[in-house]
């Protein structure tokens, strides 16, 4: 396979009157580990869903190694912001992760192969859940549950892993573990990670993007953090001081 390259060219996404993304340009290259941060409603999930082909942009084009998603042989793993799995469902960790091996086409008497089961063993080992494979999912902690969802996304050996706030609902200890797991994965897989944990992601990536309908700042994490998060604070402090001087 050619080196992975995904290019977003002047992408706009509208939901009725809401302009979620406007003329966005971004290139993802093989081996990248890109962090995406930004305000609520800034279009982060919309951008990820567009890359996955789940949303069709109103304007612009996305190419995958120079071609369409269908024609390219890029395999994408996805960890959605809100999991589609009901935590109370009576199912084991192994069964959930195995479901990642199921292809989208409907096969009436589908049976998992030995190869599928071996792939699941491997990813459970990677995420550190091997011992919990027979656990019911309602007996997992929040952090373990997220690791299981990441394992499921890894079962088809993706070239790129897209994660939408994988640490949103977990305790600080699990957040650290998940960031460290993703860092380890980034040595072999291209990664795009959306998060609100700006400081944690800044320690892990070379490239941070602050997205608010378009890319507002991009590059070295410290500089992006300074620009996107501290500058508005300085400005508001300045404003208040200026305001105070009039009193």
The residue ranges that bind ligand ATP (CB under 6 A) are 15, 18, 20, 38, 40-46, 81
Task: Work out the number of other CB atoms within 10 angstroms of the CB of residue 120.
Answer: 26
Report the residue number, 10 or 139, with the smaller CB distance to ligand ATP: 10
Site for Mg ion in 53-82 (CB under 5 A): 81
Q: Which stretch binds Mg ion (CB under 5 A): 22-30, 42-50, 208-216, 236-244?
A: 42-50
1 close to 158: Cβ distance less than 8 angstroms: no
Euclidean distance between CA atoms 120 and 101, whole angstroms: 8
Total residues contacting Mg ion by CB under 5 A comes to 3
* Least Å from the CB of residue 205 to ligand ATP: 18
45 binds Mg ion (CB under 5 A): yes
32 half-sphere exposure, CB direction, 13 A CA radius: 21
What is the DSSP pairing of strand 33-37 with strand 190-194? parallel
- Taking CB atoms, the residue at the shortest distance from Mg ion is 45
Structure tokens at 130: 């091997």
50 binds Mg ion (CB under 5 A): no
12 binds, among ligand ATP, Mg ion, none (CB under 5 to 8 A by kind): none
166 binds, among Mg ion, ligand ATP, none (CB under 5 to 8 A by kind): none
237 binds, among Mg ion, ligand ATP, none (CB under 5 to 8 A by kind): none
Characterise 128 by phi-psi region: left (phi > 0), alpha (psi -120 to 50), beta (else).
left
DSSP secondary structure string for all residues of 58-76: SEEEEEETTB-TTTS---E
Euclidean distance between CA atoms 70 and 165, whole angstroms: 26
Report the residue number, 42 or 166, with the smaller CB distance to ligand ATP: 42
173 binds, among Mg ion, ligand ATP, none (CB under 5 to 8 A by kind): none
Euclidean distance between CA atoms 217 and 182, whole angstroms: 23
* Least Å from the CB of residue 73 to Mg ion: 28
Report the residue number, 133 or 213, with the smaller CB distance to ligand ATP: 213
* Least Å from the CB of residue 193 to ligand ATP: 13
Euclidean distance between CA atoms 22 and 159, whole angstroms: 27
* Least Å from the CB of residue 132 to ligand ATP: 28
Euclidean distance between CA atoms 202 and 171, whole angstroms: 19
């Amino acid at each position: 396979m050619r080196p992975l390259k995904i290019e977003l060219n002047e992408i706009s996404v509208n939901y009725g009157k809401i302009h979620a993304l406007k003329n966005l340009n971004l290139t993802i290259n093989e081996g990248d580990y890109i962090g995406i941060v930004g305000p609520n409603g800034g279009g982060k999930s919309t951008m990820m869903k567009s890359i996955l082909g789940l949303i069709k942009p109103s304007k612009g084009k996305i190419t995958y190694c120079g071609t369409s998603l269908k024609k390219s042989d890029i395999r994408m793993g996805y960890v959605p912001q809100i999991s589609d799995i009901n935590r109370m469902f009576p199912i084991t960790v192994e069964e959930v992760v195995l479901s990642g091996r199921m292809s989208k086409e409907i096969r009436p008497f589908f049976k998992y192969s030995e190869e599928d089961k071996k792939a699941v063993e491997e990813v459970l080992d990677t995420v550190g859940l091997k011992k919990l494979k027979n656990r019911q999912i309602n007996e997992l902690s929040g952090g373990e549950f997220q690791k299981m969802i990441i394992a499921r996304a890894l079962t088809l050996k993706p070239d790129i892993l897209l994660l939408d706030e994988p640490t949103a609902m977990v305790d600080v200890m699990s957040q650290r573990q998940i960031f460290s797991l993703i860092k380890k994965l980034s040595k072999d897989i291209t990664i795009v990670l959306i998060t609100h944990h700006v400081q944690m992601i800044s320690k892990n990536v070379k490239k941070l993007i602050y997205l608010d309908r378009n890319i507002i700042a991009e590059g070295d994490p410290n500089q992006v953090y300074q620009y996107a998060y501290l500058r508005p604070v300085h400005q508001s402090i300045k404003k208040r001081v200026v305001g105070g001087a009039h009193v």
